[in-house]
Structure 1
């Protein structure tokens, strides 16, 4: 994989995003067979009922509060959805954290792929796989200093139904716990 030559020269973005005001610079990866969707909590069976930012907080005037990114399996097989962001160069180690949740019938993986960029060519690729729960769970990925492209990939291999949700992505300039 090579990094787009314009990506090396563009202004890089923060990875931080709670999705309350859009996707914060996260872009759909070219070639993804399906796309992450920006969504809001609802009470429809088979869809997330709350986002992580507000942790289910609901007011009487706005019963549906918060936003997140999600994908649904929709009885397809061998499908991936990717979003990506290029992050600023840093000389210190960083820790990327994100919150995720999946429905009990979701059969797949959530991968965080970090690619260290050097003159537009992939130097280091680290993939972190995470387990799922039907409640909000935090995962962390350690990132060394440098310029990076980060890809968040939801994938499933079996025909399944269900959803995978991510929210509250945060990059801290510390080592992961």
Structure 2
């Protein structure tokens, strides 16, 4: 009795040579090392640029907070009490009733029970009346350098994003 194999399929004797051909088609050690070196290079570039990649998100978060999120809370406070919180009362007046404001305070105007910190872990700065926004308030983050008055400050007066150093 003879075994017949369909066309295109090898018999038992040629299956060993097929396995040898598959083995010869595998990656060489050199090819694997080159791929690993490229992956390592790309990972190194990504790690060194993480701050630049996510720094833009931090700036956008602050801009949204000082221009929109807090604007709503401060405007509601002004509608209820007739004016913005004083510099002395600060943003804390949005959470706890200032002693001089009496019954008109209808807060808290911020959820969470505390004034949020900026992305760098610092409190937002507030002044009323503002020096940069005449007739209104100034609200700003000291930025990544954590120094008020430097060029990386981000406030509700900014018309453009600060530049990266």
TM normalised by structure 2 equals: 0.25
Greater RCO, 1 or 2 (C-alpha within 8 Å, sep 6+): 1
Q: Which has the higher strand share?
A: 1
Q: Which has the higher helix share?
A: 2
